[in-house]
Amino acid sequence: MQHGDASSATSGIEYFFKPRSIAIVGASEDRRKPGGRPFAALIEGDYSGKVFPINPRYEELAGRRCYTTVLGVPDDIDMAIVSVPAVAVLEVLEQCARKGVKAAVVFSAGFGEVGAEGEAEQEKIRKLSRESGMRVLGPNCFGIMNVRNAVMATFASELEMKSTSPRTLSLVAQSGAFGARMFEDATKAGVGCTSFTSVGNEADTEFSDFVDYLLDDPDTKIIGGYLEGAKDGAKLKRVAERALRVQKPLLITKVGRTRAGSRAASSHTGSLAGADEIYDAFFRQMGIVRIEHPDEMTAFAILHRDGRDYSGGRVAILSGSGGHGVMLADKCETIGLSVPEIGGHTRAKLERSLPAFGSGKNPIDLTAAANGKPEMPSGCLRALAEDEDNIDVILTMAFFQWEHSKELAQEFVDIYRSTNKPIVVMAHDRPDSDEAAARFALLQSAGIPILYDQFQAAEAIAKLSWYQRKAKRGRVVDGGPQAPDPAARAEVRERLRAGEPLSEFGCKQLLKSYGIPVTREGLATSAEMAVELSRNLAYPVALKVQSGQILHKTEAGVIRLNVASDQEVTRAYEEVLANARSYAPQARVEGVLVQEMVRDGVEVIIGVTKDPVFGPAIMFGLGGIFVEALRDVSFRIAPLARADAEEMIDEIRGRRVLEGMRGKPPADRDALIDTLLKVSQFVADHGDQIDELDLNPLVVLPKGAKVVDALITKTSR
């Protein structure tokens, strides 16, 4: 039996999470050994399946019969844990395949992460898995744990911690140690984990396979991950799109931002970290929440489990310190939240509860006068909760921590239950007495999120707000510009397949087939033809030598702009041809392009590059210095949804130029979006035949847009 891209329900991944029987090859009674910890956990814990220790050195372990090999086990085996030296792994896996083992977890290191020889051995594991149908996790992994049925196929000591309730978080990590740290931090923060998977070197199963499986798990509400580099970008894209569709947030720590980080990632698990700006764009496009530290994940999870709507992003800050409130307001505004000024009835209600020297502007400053006066914070909290028009989220200090505030915790609960609005409590310290702990427990039992870092609370609100907006909007790729008919598409494909490199004129002819707007122009093969074309286009015009071998026309001196008369055209025609012969004597020249001059628009660039992980990536930015010096660009992976194109435009810092400045009319945003979508369609159809595509510049006019120059680099054969 072979396996491929089958769904998670039939791909064998389920045997890692729900094995009815487990064999431990390399079992030991020594808990300090990789084969000892899972053996002890399985026989001492709540696992209800059968456990078979395998070790030729023993006849019995912990009162159980010990087998020489898996082949000697009389019963069926769903999963095998392999904890033997690297040189013995392949033989053990071959025995497992003959036995009909469904899944194998390989702890052993010394494969792809150590170099070519190890990679060759790892390839043998991959081939065995493909041919036998037995799924393999690892090698060089910490294994897997499923809390719900006590499957402990791991040697990570952190995973012996008792998982708290409610359990909503599942973890998948390419780094076993970092993944175990994520589990530990989440547990300490009160976020319960349903499962943990360390994928290691991904000889067979990979990060995306386990995420895909967990999307169907009803107990998993959030999936946290550690990623060094996607093995299969297309698969990760499919899984991420499904996660957004079923609204299960993916929170991923992606390392390898720098060159040093990328080298470390490669040497650690043998995976190659792609260009970070592409990963970052991919995450934004697919609704993946990128996190830098496990604390960000746990804070997000604590907010997410209240089930409330944070998407509006308008925050009211209730504080007992003016300075604290201002700092928090600055933080919120910096990370994309809004802290609106409060007026009207809500302001009047606030002022009835506040002292004369307090502030109801937002942030709301109760001052130290609130100490001992629970009616002040409760009155303000209630006023904010009742404002349905201006406030989406309330971020409040834990005033119930104060000495004379015993009743206030219950007031918070009553107000929380009276509204659907999120209320997030910031506590400066964890409870230091039984009385304080009881107040905290009261809020938590009602579902009120409590966080212990004000800035972390703001970050979590911003991330959850962004995610919920993204999930509501979704991604719909269909419904964009209509693709050309099959005959036109086939003609474009044939021209791309031809051996000669494309000139600018040739590129534009292909783009026109997809409805991408280009300048009015014609190809002249004589000075007389150039003059006639110029008259038809109306002066002034531009002249450019056309040759697939001369790509940098300005450098070669084969371009003339603002040519304004018949005489100038004749002279310019001869000059650019002479310069072309001098610059590249062997170049094949098609002729001279005569092109209209385009004015009164905004120059932008649309480009396509082929990412080694995700394939064609589309870039957008303003032209000129914005691209070359400021790198003010945005990326998305093709194909684009309309929402992707809109986000690309909105992300660049110079977007205000498109909105019209200093009396200039705004550029045609719809025409720009339409062009981005048509480029996306072009790339979706022919991405395998091109390495790069540049529309530089594309001039976006007050009405419409036109490609002034274009370059398509074909894939080398």
Mean per-residue pLDDT of the chain:
91
| Total number of residues shown for the chain | 717
pLDDT tens profile 575-598: 999 999 999 999 999 999 999 999
Q: Please indicate whether residue 129 or residue 629 has the higher confidence score (pLDDT).
A: 129
Angstrom CA distances, 55 to 39, 69, 377, stand at: 12, 7, 65
What 8-state DSSP symbol labels residue 612?
Answer: T
Q: Please indicate whether residue 290 or residue 161 has the higher confidence score (pLDDT).
A: 290
φ, ψ for residue 44, nearest 5 deg: -100, -15
Question: By the 8 A CB rule, do 275 and 239 touch?
Answer: no
Amino acid at 536: N
pLDDT of residue 663: 78
Closest C-alpha among 640, 542, 670, 528 to residue 598: 542
Quote the percentage of the chain above a pLDDT of 70: 94
pLDDT of residue 259: 52
Tell whether the model's pLDDT for residue 50 goes beyond 70: yes
What 8-state DSSP symbol labels residue 338?
Answer: B
Name residues whose C-beta falls within 8 Å of residue 8's C-beta, 6 or more positions apart in sequence.
14, 209, 212, 213, 215, 216
Question: By the 8 A CB rule, do 587 and 668 touch?
Answer: no
Angstrom CA distances, 136 to 199, 235, 382, 601, 671, stand at: 9, 18, 55, 57, 50
Q: Where are the domains of the chain?
A: 14-302, 317-473, 486-596, 602-714
pLDDT of residue 165: 87
CATH number of 14-302: 3.40.50.261
CA–CA gap between residue 577 and residue 573 (Å, rounded):
6
pLDDT of residue 148: 93
- Token duo for residue 100: 């009909």
Query: Cα-atom radius of gyration of the chain, to the nearest Å?
Result: 32
Residue 625 confidence class, pLDDT cut points 50, 70, 90: low
Tell whether the model's pLDDT for residue 403 goes beyond 90: no
Task: Please identify which residue in the block is written with the tokens 């086990």.
Answer: 73
| Superfamily per CATH, domain 486-596 | ATP-grasp fold, A domain (3.30.1490.20)
pLDDT of residue 717: 59
Closest C-alpha among 708, 716, 698, 705 to residue 607: 698
Question: By the 8 A CB rule, do 129 and 166 touch?
Answer: no
pLDDT of residue 404: 60
Tell whether the model's pLDDT for residue 372 goes beyond 80: no
Tell whether the model's pLDDT for residue 668 goes beyond 90: yes
pLDDT of residue 87: 97
CA–CA gap between residue 62 and residue 680 (Å, rounded):
62
Bond prior to 19 in cis (omega within 30° of 0): no
- Token duo for residue 636: 């998305």
Quote the percentage of the chain above a pLDDT of 90: 79
- Token duo for residue 613: 């992980």
DSSP secondary structure letters along 506-528: HHHHHHHHTT--B--EEEESSHH
Question: By the 8 A CB rule, do 566 and 538 touch?
Answer: no
Bond prior to 166 in cis (omega within 30° of 0): yes
Tell whether the model's pLDDT for residue 266 goes beyond 50: no
Residue 661 confidence class, pLDDT cut points 50, 70, 90: confident
Query: What's the average model confidence in pLDDT over 298-324?
Result: 94
Assign domain 602-714 to a CATH class: alpha beta
pLDDT of residue 652: 93
Query: What's the average model confidence in pLDDT over 214-237?
Result: 96
Q: What is the 3-state secondary structure (H, E, C) of 256-318?
A: CCCHHHHHHHHHHHCCCCCCHHHHHHHHHHHCCEECCCHHHHHHHHHHHCCCCCCCCCEEEEE
Give the DSSP H/E element, type plus range, for residue 60.
Answer: strand 60-61
Closest C-alpha among 695, 639, 638 to residue 672: 695
- Token duo for residue 257: 């931002």
| Torsion sign (Cα): 677, 678, 679, 683 | positive
Tell whether the model's pLDDT for residue 535 goes beyond 70: yes
Name residues whose C-beta falls within 8 Å of residue 702's C-beta, 6 or more positions apart in sequence.
600, 601, 665, 666, 667, 668
Tell whether the model's pLDDT for residue 560 goes beyond 90: yes
pLDDT tens profile 271-291: 323 478 899 999 999 999 999
Q: Please indicate whether residue 370 or residue 60 has the higher confidence score (pLDDT).
A: 60
Name residues whose C-beta falls within 8 Å of residue 606's C-beta, 6 or more positions apart in sequence.
618, 619, 620, 675, 676, 679, 694, 695, 696, 698
- Token duo for residue 80: 């095998």
Angstrom CA distances, 25 to 45, 81, 85, 106, 129, stand at: 19, 6, 11, 10, 18
- Token duo for residue 717: 């054969």
- Its pTM stands at 0.91
Q: Which residues, listed in sequence order, are joined to residue 608 by a DSSP beta bridge?
A: 618, 693
Residue 5 confidence class, pLDDT cut points 50, 70, 90: very low
CA–CA gap between residue 47 and residue 59 (Å, rounded):
23
Q: Is 424 helix (H, G, I), strand (E, B) or coil?
A: strand
Tell whether the model's pLDDT for residue 186 goes beyond 90: yes
Question: By the 8 A CB rule, do 697 and 705 touch?
Answer: no
Task: Please identify which residue in the block is written with the tokens 């703001």.
Answer: 458
pLDDT of residue 394: 98
pLDDT of residue 485: 87
Tell whether the model's pLDDT for residue 238 goes beyond 50: yes
Tell me: domain 317-473, CATH 3.40.50.261, correct?
Answer: yes
Cα 585 to its chain centre, rounded Å, is 48
Pairing relation of β-strands 602-611 and 591-596?
unpaired
CA–CA gap between residue 54 and residue 70 (Å, rounded):
7
Residue 3 confidence class, pLDDT cut points 50, 70, 90: low
pLDDT of residue 366: 87
Tell whether the model's pLDDT for residue 1 goes beyond 70: no
Q: Please indicate whether residue 488 or residue 267 has the higher confidence score (pLDDT).
A: 488
Among 151-165, 301-315, 330-344, 615-629, the range scoring the smallest mean pLDDT is 615-629
Closest C-alpha among 130, 125, 98 to residue 111: 125
Amino acid at 712: I
Tell whether the model's pLDDT for residue 479 goes beyond 60: no
pLDDT of residue 28: 96
Cα 493 to its chain centre, rounded Å, is 32
Name residues whose C-beta falls within 8 Å of residue 260's C-beta, 6 or more positions apart in sequence.
none
Angstrom CA distances, 621 to 238, 279, 473, stand at: 27, 18, 24
pLDDT tens profile 87-141: 999 999 999 999 999 999 999 999 999 999 999 999 999 999 999 999 999 999 9
Confirm whether 14-302 and 317-473 share one CATH topology: yes
Tell whether the model's pLDDT for residue 604 goes beyond 60: yes
